[in-house]
């Protein structure tokens, strides 16, 4: 890589905190920080309709946030002063906005229609994207119709996706989210962890004759994925004792043809993608092959159409009506002005149980940065910590802290008006809980209200709910492949908006490297008998020695 910084980097640009809108927001914050959502709603009878926005089938109610029209105006001004519009254009036009890796960021091209034109390095990438989608379609159809069979002629019934990070979280989240649309006569498993338990449990009850491994790795050098892929090959060879079996039971998804063929997978059985697709933005590239097999090519394309609809909304809609921009700016408001540390994402849909985990990588690997684009340190907080669980389960676990704890935790509630699994009045109960939670969080219950119910004075403080806890509510008609596409793209672009404001590179991930390097060194030091000359700190040295001793039969107490 060249030692010169990219020309787009202007060293020493003024800090975000010097911008007029930031300063105005700081004073505005002081004026409204103590105002209660009860007062906001009392001031404006139509607030619940006014602070809403709609796009691509998603309805966003952000009225239960601690904002006024002035807050929104200033946040939008901040986005303008930070050049958000230019950054959006640069992303969609394939400019190398991942500046530390000098790469374009074009996941939006993965869902562009066939006749679109999107240039990266002077080449229209859309035909290549559709060529891969077409190959995936042919393969998925062949597999599901029984045209593609295993080494012994049996149909493939089990798909095991091997990958980690973006090569796992997107596929597993999408599979779980769209299970209702999936081939119920097939088994889908996802192996990511280098803990052997993951591989063993995923394969213990399936037959090698009927199993296809999809090895997903953008780089095809990731330790965990290669360790699991080697274990899978051995598992296959143990069953067949014939290396030719590999060609019928393994396909790869990668950008690295050389490593794929070195591993022993014929490049004819490889589905490619490009360095302009970040791992955490790759679920609608060939990394989504397991998704396509599960839900079928038509549903997969419908998911892409959902992504594209949200892309177009993000690219073309004025900021004050733009869902991802509004959500991104609200995150800035709580993170940087209220000092909130986390965002809870609470889907009221069991199918979205892996959605918070997916968003963790998306948000935190993208925006967990401390250096600005010009290399100067930021003097403000960047990514919030994202976490969550489906409702109503979370209500019986951690909501206590959100309601009455000492921290301010903004929450995103996600719900659907129609269930995919009608059962008695379950769905009304589920949605009643969603609405009840956002109401309780916003308005709380005063000590007067508690007292008026006959509660003794000593108990009142415990039964009082302060309220004023901000929430967004995202409502959609029904969880479909299309809706999932719109939801994921909504968060992708909200994360982009935040990164643009914080003036960081949302598309690199240097922070994962040091641990990887050290692990490579340490694993060599763990050879039988260990390494007597460990040169780490005294804690790490002692831990390695104790591990090796215990592993080799010495007992944990040394």
Active-site residues, by number, are 365, 396, 516
In the complex with ligand F6P, which residue's Cβ is closer, 165 or 470?
Answer: 165
- Do residues 122 and 150 lie in contact, with contact meaning Cβ atoms separated by under 8 Å? no
**In the set 87, 218, 248, 249, which binds ligand F6P (CB under 6 A)?**
218
- Do residues 495 and 367 lie in contact, with contact meaning Cβ atoms separated by under 8 Å? yes
Q: Which stretch binds ligand F6P (CB under 6 A): 58-66, 160-168, 299-307, 485-493?
A: 160-168
Place of tokens 């909501």: 399
- Do residues 296 and 284 lie in contact, with contact meaning Cβ atoms separated by under 8 Å? no
Q: Is 150 in the site for ligand F6P (CB under 6 A)?
A: no
Q: Record the tokens describing residue 362, joined without a space.
A: 């998306």
The footprint of ligand F6P on this chain (CB under 6 A) covers a number of residues equal to 14
Closest-CA residue to 412 (of 390, 427, 428): 390
Q: Is 509 in the site for ligand F6P (CB under 6 A)?
A: yes
Least Cβ distance, residue 280 to ligand F6P (angstroms): 6
Place of tokens 């997903």: 216
**Cα–Cα distance measured from residue 236 to residue 239, given in angstroms and rounded to the nearest whole number:** 5
Least Cβ distance, residue 213 to ligand F6P (angstroms): 15
**Cα–Cα distance measured from residue 381 to residue 370, given in angstroms and rounded to the nearest whole number:** 8
Closest-CA residue to 545 (of 527, 523, 524, 530): 530
**Cα–Cα distance measured from residue 58 to residue 477, given in angstroms and rounded to the nearest whole number:** 8
- Do residues 414 and 491 lie in contact, with contact meaning Cβ atoms separated by under 8 Å? no
Least Cβ distance, residue 97 to ligand F6P (angstroms): 17
**In the set 98, 167, 299, 503, which binds ligand F6P (CB under 6 A)?**
167
Burial of 332 (0-12, 13-18, 19+ CB in 10 A): buried
Least Cβ distance, residue 226 to ligand F6P (angstroms): 9
Cα 262 to Cα 60, 257, 259, 266, distances in angstroms: 49, 9, 5, 9
Percent helix, strand, coil in the chain, to 5, is: 55, 10, 35
Cis peptide upstream of residue 392 (ω within 30 degrees of 0): yes
When CB distances to ligand F6P are compared, the closest residue is 279
User: What count of Cα atoms within 13 Å lies in the side-chain half-sphere of residue 381?
Assistant: 16
Q: Is 217 in the site for ligand F6P (CB under 6 A)?
A: yes
In the complex with ligand F6P, which residue's Cβ is closer, 279 or 388?
Answer: 279
Closest-CA residue to 488 (of 356, 387, 392): 356
Mask of contacts with ligand F6P, 436-475, x by CB under 6 A?
----------------------------------------
* DSSP β-ladder status, 211-216 and 158-162: parallel
Least Cβ distance, residue 534 to ligand F6P (angstroms): 25
- Do residues 356 and 387 lie in contact, with contact meaning Cβ atoms separated by under 8 Å? yes
Least Cβ distance, residue 518 to ligand F6P (angstroms): 13
Q: Which stretch binds ligand F6P (CB under 6 A): 58-66, 79-87, 161-169, 228-236?
A: 161-169
Instruction: Map the footprint of ligand F6P across residues 351-380, applying CB under 6 A.
Output: 365
Closest-CA residue to 65 (of 43, 45, 36, 44): 36
**In the set 52, 219, 342, 381, which binds ligand F6P (CB under 6 A)?**
219
Q: Which stretch binds ligand F6P (CB under 6 A): 67-75, 119-127, 163-171, 237-245?
A: 163-171
Q: Record the tokens describing residue 191, joined without a space.
A: 């192996």
Could you write out the three-class secondary structure of 393-418? HHHHCCHHHHHHCCCCCCEEEEEECC
In the complex with ligand F6P, which residue's Cβ is closer, 96 or 166?
Answer: 166
* DSSP β-ladder status, 342-347 and 250-254: unpaired
Query: For residue 201, what are the contacts with CB-CB under 8 A and spacing of at least 6?
Result: none
In the complex with ligand F6P, which residue's Cβ is closer, 213 or 399?
Answer: 213
Least Cβ distance, residue 519 to ligand F6P (angstroms): 11
Q: Which stretch binds ligand F6P (CB under 6 A): 49-57, 165-173, 370-378, 383-391?
A: 165-173
In the complex with ligand F6P, which residue's Cβ is closer, 360 or 446?
Answer: 360
Least Cβ distance, residue 515 to ligand F6P (angstroms): 9
In the complex with ligand F6P, which residue's Cβ is closer, 68 or 217?
Answer: 217
In the complex with ligand F6P, which residue's Cβ is closer, 254 or 464?
Answer: 254
Least Cβ distance, residue 360 to ligand F6P (angstroms): 12
**In the set 222, 335, 367, 384, which binds ligand F6P (CB under 6 A)?**
222
Q: What is the CA radius of gyration of the chain?
A: 25
**In the set 57, 150, 165, 208, which binds ligand F6P (CB under 6 A)?**
165
- Do residues 199 and 232 lie in contact, with contact meaning Cβ atoms separated by under 8 Å? yes
**In the set 89, 417, 512, 526, which binds ligand F6P (CB under 6 A)?**
512
Mask of contacts with ligand F6P, 306-345, x by CB under 6 A?
----------------------------------------
In the complex with ligand F6P, which residue's Cβ is closer, 284 or 365?
Answer: 365
Q: Record the tokens describing residue 117, joined without a space.
A: 């034109």
Instruction: Map the footprint of ligand F6P across residues 390-419, applying CB under 6 A.
Output: none
Phi, psi of 250 (to 5 degrees): -135, 135
Least Cβ distance, residue 516 to ligand F6P (angstroms): 7
Instruction: Map the footprint of ligand F6P across residues 238-297, applying CB under 6 A.
Output: 279-280
Residues engaged in binding ligand F6P (CB under 6 A): 164-167, 217-219, 222, 225, 279-280, 365, 509, 512
């Amino acid at each position: 890589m060249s030692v010169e910084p990219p020309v787009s980097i202007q060293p020493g640009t003024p800090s975000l905190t010097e911008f007029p809108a930031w300063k105005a927001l700081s004073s505005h914050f002081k004026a409204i920080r103590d105002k209660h959502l009860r007062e906001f709603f009392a001031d404006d009878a139509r607030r619940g309709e006014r602070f809403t926005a709609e796009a691509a089938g998603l309805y966003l109610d952000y009225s239960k946030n601690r904002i006024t029209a002035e807050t929104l105006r200033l946040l939008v001004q901040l986005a303008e002063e930070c050049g958000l519009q230019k950054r959006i254009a640069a992303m969609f036009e394939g400019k190398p906005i991942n500046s530390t890796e000098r790469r374009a960021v074009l996941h939006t091209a993965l869902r562009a229609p066939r006749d679109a034109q999107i240039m990266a390095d002077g080449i229209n990438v859309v035909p290549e994207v559709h060529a891969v989608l077409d190959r995936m379609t042919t393969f998925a159809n062949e597999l599901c119709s029984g045209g593609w069979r295993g080494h012994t002629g049996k149909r493939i019934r089990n798909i095991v996706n091997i990958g980690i990070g973006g090569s796992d979280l997107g596929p597993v989240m999408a599979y779980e989210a769209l299970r209702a649309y999936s081939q119920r006569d097939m088994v889908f498993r996802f192996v990511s962890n280098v803990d052997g338990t993951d591989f063993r449990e995923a394969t213990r009850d399936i037959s090698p004759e009927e199993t296809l491994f999809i090895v997903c790795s953008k780089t095809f050098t990731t330790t965990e994925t290669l360790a699991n892929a080697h274990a899978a090959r051995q598992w296959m060879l143990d069953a067949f004792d014939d290396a030719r079996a590999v060609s019928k039971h393994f396909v790869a998804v990668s950008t690295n043809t050389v490593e794929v063929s070195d591993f022993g997978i014929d490049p004819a059985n490889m589905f490619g993608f490009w360095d302009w697709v970040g791992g955490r933005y790759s679920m609608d590239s060939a990394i989504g092959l397991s998704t396509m097999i599960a839900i079928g090519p038509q549903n997969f394309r419908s998911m892409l159409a959902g992504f594209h609809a949200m892309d177009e909304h993000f690219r073309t809609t004025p900021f004050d009506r733009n869902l991802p921009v509004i959500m991104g700016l609200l995150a800035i408001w709580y993170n940087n002005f209220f000092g909130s540390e986390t965002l809870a994402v609470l889907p009221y849909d069991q199918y979205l149980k892996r959605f918070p985990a997916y968003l963790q990588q998306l948000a935190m690997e993208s925006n967990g940065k401390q250096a600005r684009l010009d290399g100067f340190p930021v003097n403000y907080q960047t990514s919030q910590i994202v976490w969550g669980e489906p409702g109503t389960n979370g209500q019986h676990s951690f909501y206590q802290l959100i309601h009455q704890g000492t921290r301010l935790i903004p929450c995103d509630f996600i719900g659907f008006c129609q269930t995919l699994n009608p059962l008695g009045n379950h769905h009304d109960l589920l949605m009643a809980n969603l609405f009840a939670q956002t109401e309780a969080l916003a308005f709380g219950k005063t000590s007067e209200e508690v007292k008026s119910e006959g509660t003794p004075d000593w108990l009142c403080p415990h039964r009082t709910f302060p309220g004023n806890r901000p929430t967004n509510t995202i409502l959609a008609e029904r969880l479909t492949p299309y809706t999932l596409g719109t939801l994921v793209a909504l968060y992708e672009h909200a994360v982009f908006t935040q990164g643009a404001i914080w003036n960081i590179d949302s598309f690199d991930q240097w922070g994962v490297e040091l641990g990887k390097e050290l692990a490579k060194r340490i694993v060599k030091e763990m050879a039988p008998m260990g390494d007597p000359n460990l040169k780490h700190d005294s804690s790490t040295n002692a831990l390695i020695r104790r591990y090796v001793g215990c592993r080799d039969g010495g007992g944990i107490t040394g």
